[in-house]
Amino acid sequence: MRSNYWDTWKGITILCVATLHATGTFQFPTKSRNWYCELVICQFADFAVPMFLALSGYFAAKSFTHVFHDIKKYWLARFVRIIPPYLFWTAVFVLLKRRSDLLSINALDKDIFFGLGIGIGYFVIVLLQFILLTPLIMKIKKAQDHIVIMVSITSVGLLLNYLLRIQHPWLLFAQFPYYAISFLTWYPFYHLGIFIQQQGYADNPSFTGQATKFFVIYLFFVFASITEALMLSSKGLMSLAVSQIKFTSFLASISLFLFAVAFHGVEDTRTKNTILTWLGRNSYLIYLMHLLFFPRVSTLLKHISIPYNIQPVYILLQVIVVISICSFIILISKITVPRTIQKLCLGI
């Protein structure tokens, strides 16, 4: 049974994904007003992929426990849900935007196995790795063991990320999407989702009563991430400055997920169907296809001087237009496309 509450969070998260892709150009002079606007907006939206991974782990633990008793059946069910739409939209992107890749096996391999086809397919590759790891993580029962493993693996992932991108930026795995393709890079979020679900924190009054505290901690780490971003950008590390996988952004994302779980105990039954809920239910398809439209939309909006020169307005307009296009396609698809094809190809 779907939860309006969690679908609303997915809706918020997919809007943040779109927001991150509406920013990131940084074409304005360093330390100009618009440059600061982009930098700050990125920090507030940087929880996007971590939140999706945490929610995936949270619901994976639930379904693994109550629905699937055979590991192979679990893997098959998840792969059938994720892989065919990913391959379909990779094919669409290649045919529309990367036709030269059809002449190169190496390029097609990168399009599929490194997510370059849709540009941001690394998320799907990372999620598939975590799905394979789910049975192993589910075998861990003690809270202390969960925490030790999360902290240890996350420390290794963060260390490698900083070391490669600061000290060895010329290496392949210091460049996008290769630094983002390994589960090590994103480790704590999916495991944290499983841990929270397995340990029953969502139903624990002593935990749910800490919602306000978690939100304050989230804000603290967002402002800490702004400080870190300014420091990194001053050293010419702009890619890392706006990254979702820097230390302070990790802590902000973890805090926000804990807030969402704690607040769930208060608001779940009161959450109504809204536009955000609908976007959340269709978030996978929106993720897969939305980059088709950003280049054209951003180019068109640049010709309108007022919004372009006021970056928050420009970013907001990009997100609204792109998400509206995606929503229109989804609505038409639900009316005209058979349900089986919707699930297998479109990701609805």
Give the residue-averaged pLDDT of 271-277: 84
Q: Is the pLDDT of residue 308 over 80?
A: no
Cβ-proximal residues to 243 (8 Å cutoff; 6+ apart), any chain:
46, 249
Does the pLDDT at position 203 exceed 90? no
Q: Which two tokens stand for residue 159?
A: 């260390």
Confidence band of 270 (pLDDT split at 50, 70, 90): low
Residue 345's pLDDT band (cuts 50, 70, 90)? confident
Task: Read off the tokens for 15.
Answer: 């809007």
Question: Residue 68: what pLDDT?
Answer: 56
CA distances from 345 to 103, 287, 299 (A): 24, 14, 29
Reported confidence tier of residue 330, pLDDT bands at 50, 70, 90: very high
Q: Give the integer Cα–Cα distance in Å for 338 and 262.
A: 39
Which pLDDT score is estimated for 26? Answer: 57
Each residue of 103-156: pLDDT tens digit? 889 989 999 999 999 999 999 999 999 999 999 999 998 999 999 999 999 999
The CA distance from 84 to 9, in Å, is 25
N-term to C-term CA, the chain:
16
Beta-carbon contacts of residue 27 (< 8 Å; ≥ 6 apart)? none
Task: Residue 308: give the domain boundaries.
Answer: 4-346
pLDDT at 157 over 90: yes
- Give pLDDT, residue 320: 94
Q: What is the CA radius of gyration of the chain?
A: 20
Q: Is the pLDDT of residue 194 over 80?
A: yes
Please give the tally of structural domains in the chain.
1
Predicted TM-score (pTM) of this structure: 0.91
DSSP 24-76: ----SPTTSHHHHHHHHHHHHHTTHHHHHHHHHHHHHHHHHHHT--SHHHHHH
Listed residue (63, 41, 54, 326) closest to 187, CA to CA: 54
Number of H helices, E strands in the chain: 18, 0
The set of residues, in sequence order, having a beta carbon less than 8 Å from that of 31 and lying 6+ positions away, is none
Residues 265 and 259: beta-carbon distance below 8 Å: no
For 102-113, the DSSP string reads GG-HHHHHHHHH
E-strand spans in the chain?
A: none
How much is the pLDDT for 268? 57
Whole-number average pLDDT of the chain = 89
The encoded tokens of residue 262 equal 């704690």
Tell me the pLDDT band of 269, cut-offs 50, 70 and 90. Answer: low
User: Quick one: which of 40, 37, 34 has its CA closest to 305?
Assistant: 34
The C-alpha atoms of residue 204 and residue 133 are separated, in whole angstroms, by 27
Tokens of 143: 């809270």
pLDDT tens, 2-58?
A: 788 999 999 999 999 999 998 865 566 677 787 888 889 999 999 999 999 999 999
Give residue 24's pLDDT. 62
